[in-house]
Homo-oligomer: A and B are copies of this chain.
């Protein structure tokens, strides 16, 4: 289980290559990459996105989320990378990878990690467009997505 919080851009392909190279015996590897969308719903094109976070709490939240996934599924490895600071359209914001013997555990754990990251890790996105800066509102279905893990044993 590894967790990285960083400002620097990263390459999802290189991360998956490294993760898979260490996943000997795993059988199944799932990855999720979240990208900055440059165009969104007929608004002006995005100039950049800035992610604010809560230093100290962020690291704790990421560690707790990874530990929770490890306790629910038989994972041989997991990796979470989350950026903060300014980033440009099409850059990767977040990367999650999970390795397990069978695919269902790898898929579920990756979806769980993303659901938790979305609404339990202290990150806030601000979108900057021509003449407009706006904090991204939380989506109600992000809370709903979390609820499905509450009663499930995993």
Q: Is B104 touching A145 in the complex (CB atoms < 8 A)?
A: yes
By size class, the interface of chain A is 35 or more
Residue A103 lies at the interface, judged by CB distance under 8 Å to chain B: yes
Query: Judging by beta carbons under 8 Å apart, are A16 and B31 in contact?
Result: yes
Stretch at the interface among A32-40, A50-58, A63-71, A124-132: A32-40
Contact yes or no, A28 B32, CB < 8 A: yes
> Which residue from B14, B15, B34, B110 sits with its C-beta under 8 Å from A27?
B34
Are A107's CB and B104's CB within 8 A? Answer: no
Could you tell me the distance between the alpha carbons of A29 and B37 in the complex, rounded to whole angstroms?
12
Expressed in whole angstroms, the Cα–Cα distance for A89 and B38 within the complex equals 40
Q: Which residues of B contact A13 (CB under 8 A)?
A: 13-18, 20
Identical copies of this chain, number: 2
A112 nearest CB across to chain B (Å): 10
C-alpha gap A16/B19 in the complex (Å): 12
Instruction: Give 27 A-B contacts (CB < 8 Å), ordered by A residue.
Output: A12-B17, A13-B13, A13-B14, A13-B15, A14-B17, A16-B31, A23-B35, A26-B37, A27-B34, A27-B37, A28-B32, A28-B33, A28-B35, A29-B31, A29-B32, A30-B31, A30-B32, A30-B110, A31-B33, A32-B103, A32-B107, A34-B103, A103-B114, A104-B145, A107-B107, A107-B110, A107-B114
Question: A24-B89, A29-B35, A30-B32 given. 18 additional CB < 8 A pairs?
Answer: A12-B17, A13-B17, A13-B18, A13-B20, A16-B31, A16-B33, A23-B35, A25-B37, A25-B38, A25-B39, A26-B35, A27-B34, A31-B31, A32-B103, A32-B106, A34-B103, A103-B114, A107-B110
